[in-house]
Structures are given as structure tokens and as C-alpha cells.
Chain A
């Protein structure tokens, strides 16, 4: 092998090394992105599952026994779970989820990242604001935020929101 060939070989090796390093770096980035994507989809699903669960409950503590409320002032003034409803399984109405928070570390069915789930419930009024109003109305909005150290180093938050209203048709 003469000097020229030697130089070509060295240049080739350098090129190959650069390519391998780039591919390796991209591979790591892609794997990280794929994992994060998986966790974010799981986060969206977890958040939506909590929303669905809240919708399966009564609209208000006052309607928990199939009662129909004909005056907004009869509704719960302070949104949140009632005494004795310590765990999520004990909740019987929609606004019990206000200030509910949970970490999935102890959930053996979620074996990947751990997530923090935080819920807020607000009264809203279609004629005033769908963010929140300070008075009691027949409409409540639940906002579920899901975070995780695995979602962009804890920087990303998945937020979902939906409005529940009091109605009873049969």
C-alpha cells in the first residue's frame, strides 16, 4: 500500500467513523423520541380515562341519588370530594375529582414511566366563560393534567378538558 492509498484508506475510515457516530446519535435520539411518544400516548389515554371515569359519576353530590336539581343554588358550592370519600373509588360525583392527584408509581399495571395526574373542576357558563365562573351553574369543566419525568425531562404536560352538564332524559 503506497502513501496515496494509505491516505485514501484513512480518509475512508474517518468518513465511516463519522457516519457511524451520526447513525448512533440519531438512533439514540430516535429511540428516546419513540419512548417519549409512547409515554405521551399513554399520558393522553390516562388523562382521558380519568375524564371518562368522572363522567360516569353523578353530576353533583346533590344529584348522586338520581335526584333532579331544579335550582342552581342547590348545587355544591365547594367543589371537591366529601368527607369519607378518601380514595378515587369512593367518589360518587363529578366534582369529587377537584384537586384529585395521583402518581402511578404504585400502579402495577403501568410498568413503564410513572405519571402524575392532577385534576381540577370548575363551574363554567356558556354565556359567560368556558374557562371558569365563580357562581354555581349546571355546567362543570374538568381539566386533567398529566406530567412525568419521562415527558421531555418533565417539561411537557398533557392537558385534557371536557364539560359535563346536568341533564336527565328517560
Chain B
């Protein structure tokens, strides 16, 4: 009896040890499988990312390139690369890595995908862009530049001006101090500084005109004359507002009878373009639009601001957490881009002689924003408040230290960091807007 009992006890122990042994082996097997899977997936990820890097270089060298590479052998696997264009000027790069390994406890071939979207970089992302920097022009202590800043020239600072966004220059920077009472040379770059960075100043009016012809509105005189177009935006309480437009041949004095049109039928894609002539602008904008005018000679291409041009909802509201400071208004869905192939000019009229509010990103291809007939003998016109951005070829005068003209304040609309007015001029280079892997 005693022998049988011992045998039973031993068998029981053996079974118990067997279970322990099995579990232990199983745990080890799973650990090894996890290692193999981690290794395989790391390699697979590297394979796909390598293909994406190579494709990005090809696009960098030749932005017009589309095509594919198939079955490029790498790291025991292979890569498929495909580059396609879609929408307007957007590029999609897909790189797929293939590698046989252990995945989900099975030996099989798996894939990893890297997808990159590139699109032309819009000038509206700058709070202030100036192609040329005047040789004697300094930003001085007390000056504040809001939003991203770029110049193709050399930035000159005196004392300690403050830059709220990232600053980039092509020509570098020259900082001086301890003269004219401006204190030591200590410009404050709160968003960082980088140089040399080349962002060529370009304007392709064909693209914006094509967009206007496709699903927007293009003004063009049938006789080939330059045309003046007057646009008065209006918020009629609907989700999309209206615009009242009239025209005249440039150089004549009689405007056509104004026509009021719903913007969603006049320009569904938001582009209103005058092929050759000038644009007269004012009103309350309800929606997202880019308006502008081209030129065929140095005489045209002006956008004249006849009064305030503002959004239905202010893009800024008071910050409840920091009284006295403002934040982006989440309810503001309005956005405006103004494109002048020559420059933007504030009309010297009664409406503008007591401040002017401009809610827009202003693009001046052959100059900068200025005031009609500005001179040191002009009266004080108050404050020119630009809430958006200013892109210009070269800074122009908007006021004098004796008080003539305007005191200018430019506040960057942070929404332009991620959103642009429709078909707003873009740089000739691409930027990566999405990198998925």
C-alpha cells in the first residue's frame, strides 16, 4: 500500500512539474517570438522609411517628378515607391516596405507603409515677409514683429526689437547697439532664428486666374482694356455673405450699376480675380476668399482699400485666462487673402482718415502697403491695424514720425499657420504637410 501511495505522490509531482515546465517553456517561446516580431517590425519600419527618404530627395531635386520604383531590395526585404500628384499641386509619396519575419506568432511577409503629403508652401504663413530689406532700415528697441518673419535680404536690428515668431533670413543679420540711446544689441527671437534660408518671392498669376476660371470669378474686359473692379463685401446674416460688384474701364470715371451676388454662386471656390487693372475693396467678409488683381504694365495691379475690410466675426477675442491678452476666436470661420500684383494702397478718403482695420493677409508683389499721397505734410490718420499678415516686395511708407499718416500695427492671425485663403500665392518649393508612418 505504501509503495502505491509513493507512486501516486510521485506521479502527482511529475504532472505538476510537467505543467510548470510547459508554462515556463511557453513563456520563453512567447518572449522569443516577441523579440523576433520587434526586430522584424523595426527592420520593416526602417525599410519603408528609407524608401520615403529617397523619394523625398527625388522630389526635392525635381518637383515635377512622378513615377515609381518597384522591388528595390534592401535589408532582406524590398521597397516599392510611388509618387503621384493630386488636387492642385499636391504630391503624395507612398513607400511600402516588405519583409518576411515573425508577425503575430507566424512566419509571413508583412508590409509597412509611409505616406507623405507635400504641397506648395503658402506665403500666408508669414506674419511679415519682405523680399528686400532697406539698407538703412532698422528694427529698433520697442518694435515687435508678430508671427513668423522672413526676409530675403539682411535683417538689421538696433538695440533689442522683439520677434514673436520664428525668424528666417537669407542674408543673415546685423545687430548693432549702444547708439542713439537704443541700448545693447540684443534682438529677442522668441520663436528662434535660422539663416540662411531661401524663400524666393514669386507670384504665378496663371494659377490664381485658372482657379478663378475653374470655379471662381474672373473679371476681364472684353475689349482687352484694363478694368477697375469695386468689391463691397457684406454680411447678410446667411452662412455665406454677399458681394456688391461694379466695374469700369480703367481711366474712366463712370462705374457700372452695382450687382449684388451671393458669394457661393459667384465664386464657389472663393477666388475673385481681376486679370488686368485695379481692385477697390471694402466691407465685411463672410467666408473664405482670395481676391486680387493683375497687371500688364506698371500702371495697374493696385488694390485700393476704400474703407475697413473686416471679418464678420473678429478673429481675436479676449483671453478669459489672461485678461488683457487675446486669443484666436474659435467661432471665426472667415478668412481673406488680398493679392496685388503691384501693391495695396489705402485710399486717402474720409472713411480712412480715422483709423483703418484690415483683416487679411496682404500680398504686394511689386511694392508694399502704402497710403495714397502720403507725405510728411499729411494729417494724422490714426492707426492702421492689420490683423492677418503682410507680404511685400519692399516696405513702403505708411506714416511719419511727425504723426502724418498712420501708426501701423500688424498682428499675425495664427489661423494662417495651418490654413490658407483659397489659392493664395505659394512659394515654388514644397513643404511636408503630413508624414504618416
Residue numbers of A with Cβ under 8 A of B are: 1, 4-9, 11-13, 15-16, 19-20, 22-23, 26-27, 29-30, 33-34, 37-38, 40-41, 44, 48, 51, 66-68, 126, 130, 138-139, 141, 158, 160-170
Contacts and interface: CB of A to CB of B under 8 A. Distances in A.
10 contacts: A11-B7, A12-B9, A26-B25, A30-B24, A30-B27, A37-B35, A41-B35, A48-B42, A161-B74, A169-B60
Contacts of A160: 42-43, 46
Interface in B29-68: 31-32, 34-35, 38-39, 42-43, 46, 49-51, 53-54, 56-57, 59-61
Contact of B61 (A16, A33, A138): A138
Given A26-B25, A126-B72, A167-B56, A66 B196 contact: yes
Contacts of B69: 126
B15 to A, nearest CB: 9
Q: Secondary structure at chain B's binding surface: helix, strand, loop or mixed?
A: helix
B4 A8 contact: yes
A26 B21 contact: yes
Q: Secondary structure at chain A's binding surface: helix, strand, loop or mixed?
A: helix
B20 interface: yes
Interface stretch (B181-189, B408-416, B424-432): B424-432
A67 B53 CA distance: 18
A170 B122 CA distance: 10
B419 interface: no
Contact of B17 (A12, A20, A165, A169): A20
A67 B195 CA distance: 9
Contacts of B11: 12, 15
Interface in B87-135: 118, 121
Contact of B54 (A4, A66, A139): A139
A56 B30 CA distance: 34
Nearest to B53: A165
Contact of A13 (B10, B17, B46, B75): B10
Given A163-B50, A165-B57, 18 more contacts: A1-B3, A4-B3, A8-B3, A12-B10, A16-B13, A19-B14, A19-B17, A23-B21, A26-B21, A34-B27, A37-B31, A51-B46, A126-B54, A163-B51, A163-B74, A167-B59, A169-B431, A170-B199
A1 B194 CA distance: 94
Q: Please list the 7 inter-chain residue pairs (A to B) with the smallest Cβ-Cβ separation, ordered nearest first.
A: A5-B3, A163-B50, A165-B57, A8-B3, A167-B60, A12-B10, A165-B53
B54 A161 contact: no
B417 interface: no
A151 to B, nearest CB: 11
B56 A169 contact: yes
Nearest to B1: A5
A13 B61 CA distance: 78
Contacts of A30: 24-25, 27-28
Given A169-B60, A170-B197, A164 B10 contact: no
B73 interface: yes
Contact of A170 (B25, B59, B431): B431
B28 A162 contact: no
Contact of A169 (B2, B27, B429): B429
Nearest to A40: B35
A26 B25 CA distance: 8
Contacts of B39: 40, 44, 158
A15 B7 CA distance: 9
A167 B52 CA distance: 11
A5 B2 contact: yes
Contacts of A169: 56, 60, 118, 121, 429-432
B198 interface: yes
A117 B245 CA distance: 71
A138 B57 contact: yes
A10 to B, nearest CB: 9
Nearest to A12: B10
Given A8-B3, A30-B25, A66 B195 contact: yes
B326 interface: no
Contacts of A164: 53
B299 to A, nearest CB: 35
B321 interface: no
Nearest to B125: A170
Nearest to A48: B42
Contact of B198 (A51, A68, A138, A139): A68
A99 B86 CA distance: 43
A66 B194 contact: yes
A130 B81 CA distance: 14
B72 A130 contact: yes
A1 B57 CA distance: 87
